[in-house]
Amino acid sequence: SFRISNGKKPIEPNPEYSHTRNFLNMVNGTPPDDFVEKVFDVSLILYAEHDYNASSFSTRVTASTLADLYSAVIAGICTLKGSLHGGANEKAMEMLLAIGEEDKVEDWIREALLRKERIMGFGHRVYKKGDPRAIILKKLCMELGGKKNAPKWYRMSHKIEEIMEKEKGLYPNVDFYAGSIYYMMGIPIELYTPIFTLSRITGWSAHIIEQHDNNRLIRPMSEYIGPPMQRYIPIDERP
């Protein structure tokens, strides 16, 4: 559907190709080399599952109502649409493109911080001292940049990482280096979040199956923290 929407002929999957090789071939029109295939495969593994993140939790809540797998996956996709969960890798790459060159990184980031803008791809609700998945992708980003003769994306990213750690005490998450990795593979930015879905659907499915196997309706309690003891005013007495 992506190729058709861009005026290109769709490419049939090759049964002799791996899942990752097929995807890259069907998007770009040419099969990737072995290293690119490996890097993309690693990124999908790192994105595949990650505890009770927002989308996985929503799939389990939906599954707990005894909705079928398809409905629960749709709930996960809808949750992933939010920019605080999905889309960070897109924003990270768009930021790098907006900066343009390595010598502009420091001024651009510091000005953005002064404006109190959010630098996407940094911070994590669980990993306060660094996302171990980002460490893996950082190394692969550097290696891929060398092979693609595009080292500036890694150098720019590394410089941003240093500034963010010094100024905000924040570390990159899995999305930060994924953006430039996908860009160097020739993957259009608008496909980055669908790729997240392509990978995470494996984790969602596992959560859904597990929930159905030993089900109990998930119904969290909430605590009211509003003004206490409000007096009821009849409708005809209200201003």
Rounded-to-integer distance, Cα 73 and Cα 70, Å? 5
Site of tokens 């994105």: 47
Contact 144, 181 (CB under 8 A): yes
**Coil, strand or helix at 4:** helix
Neighbours of 102 (CB within 10 A): 15
Rounded-to-integer distance, Cα 79 and Cα 73, Å? 10
| DSSP calls for 79-135 | HHTSTTTSSHHHHHHHHHHHH-SGGGHHHHHHHHHHTT---TTB--SS-TT--HHHH
Rounded-to-integer distance, Cα 14 and Cα 1, Å? 17
Contact 43, 64 (CB under 8 A): no
From the list 85, 124, 131, 207, the catalytic residue is 124
- Phi then psi for residue 234, to 5 deg, are -55, 150
Token readout for 135 is: 């460490």
From the list 175, 207, 213, 236, the catalytic residue is 175
Active site residue 175: yes
Catalytically annotated residues = 124, 175
